[in-house]
A and B are shown apart, each in its own frame.
Chain A
Amino acid sequence: AQTVTQSQPEMSVQEAETVTLSCTYDTSESDYYLFWYKQPPSRQMILVIRQEAYKQQNATENRFSVNFQKAAKSFSLKISDSQLGDAAMYFCAYRSPTGTASKLTFGTGTRLQVTL
């Protein structure tokens, strides 16, 4: 079974600075999908960014980018120019292309605090 590990329960960043959230995963599959979700105090799950394992190029969405290291099974999220609205819980998630077709395996989350 796949597992996802987020080793940083909490992180803090100053406004306008850059922060990197770590995520590692364990899998024997060669093809899969990785995601970062943001959960603000409203509890809504918001997709931040996604990466297909077969793509070598790191995904980027505005101020959010990933560092995908397939061999190391690492999928970190970089937030540039941090804003107060980035304060939230961030979850890393894995999805297999086969088997339980819709299952996302989540990490335990990293709570990001943004300070002035």
Chain B
Amino acid sequence: EAQVTQNPRYLITVTGKKLTVTCSQNMNHEYMSWYRQDPGLGLRQIYYSMNVEVTDKGDVPEGYKVSRKEKRNFPLILESPSPNQTSLYFCASRWQGANIQYFGAGTRLSVL
């Protein structure tokens, strides 16, 4: 089954404690992205990757890092989380020749 898998689905952490949200897709997609969703703001792109070792900032990259060492994986790293990073996070992927983005199930992050 074609899917984008995010882990964990829920995470509660404390300010400053490094964390990683994993994202993996099994469709051999070139493009992968991270979004955050906040009430009243919709979804906003954090980072994206066009292929292995090719990443770039989206609209709200501050406080986040990403890496793309393998085509299937695109982890989101918060090295020193702060309460304003409490949000719902989505990973998405797309084949370069297609129009449809596939979304993961979302990760609900709370930073205390």
CB of B58 within 8 A of CB of A109, answer: no
CB of B99 within 8 A of CB of A108, answer: no
CB of A102 within 8 A of CB of B31, answer: yes
Instruction: From B56, B90, B108, give the contact of A100 (CB < 8 A).
Output: B56
Confirm or deny: A11 has a beta carbon within 8 angstroms of a beta carbon on chain B: no
CB of B99 within 8 A of CB of A101, answer: no
How would residues 23 to 40 of chain B score, 1 for a CB under 8 Å from any chain A CB and 0 otherwise? 000000001110100001
Instruction: From B33, B44, B56, B105, give the contact of A44 (CB < 8 A).
Output: B105
Q: How far is the CA of A50 from the CA of B106 in the complex (A)?
A: 22
Chain A interface SS verdict (over half): loop
Instruction: From A42, A91, A100, A102, give the contact of B101 (CB < 8 A).
Output: A102
CB of A108 within 8 A of CB of B41, answer: yes
Q: Which residues of A contact B108 (CB under 8 A)?
A: 43
Q: How large is the interface on A (under 10, 10 to 19, 20 to 34, 35 or more residues)?
A: 20 to 34
Confirm or deny: B109 has a beta carbon within 8 angstroms of a beta carbon on chain A: no
Q: How large is the interface on B (under 10, 10 to 19, 20 to 34, 35 or more residues)?
A: 20 to 34
Confirm or deny: B13 has a beta carbon within 8 angstroms of a beta carbon on chain A: no
CB of B99 within 8 A of CB of A103, answer: no
CB of B90 within 8 A of CB of A108, answer: no
Return the chain B residue nearest A1 by Cβ: B59
Chain B interface SS verdict (over half): strand
Residues of chain B in range 94-112 having any CB-CB distance to chain A below 8 Å: 94, 96, 99-101, 103, 105-106, 108
CB of A43 within 8 A of CB of B88, answer: yes
Confirm or deny: A16 has a beta carbon within 8 angstroms of a beta carbon on chain B: no
Instruction: From A33, A102, A109, give the contact of B33 (CB < 8 A).
Output: A102
Q: How far is the CA of A93 from the CA of B42 in the complex (A)?
A: 10
Given A43-B106, A44-B106: A104 touches B48 (CB 8 Å cut-off):
no
Q: Which A residues form the contact surface with B (CB < 8 A)?
A: 4, 33, 42-45, 47, 50, 52, 91, 93, 95, 100-104, 106-109
Q: Which B residues form the contact surface with A (CB < 8 A)?
A: 31-33, 35, 40-45, 48, 50, 56, 58-59, 88, 90, 92, 94, 96, 99-101, 103, 105-106, 108
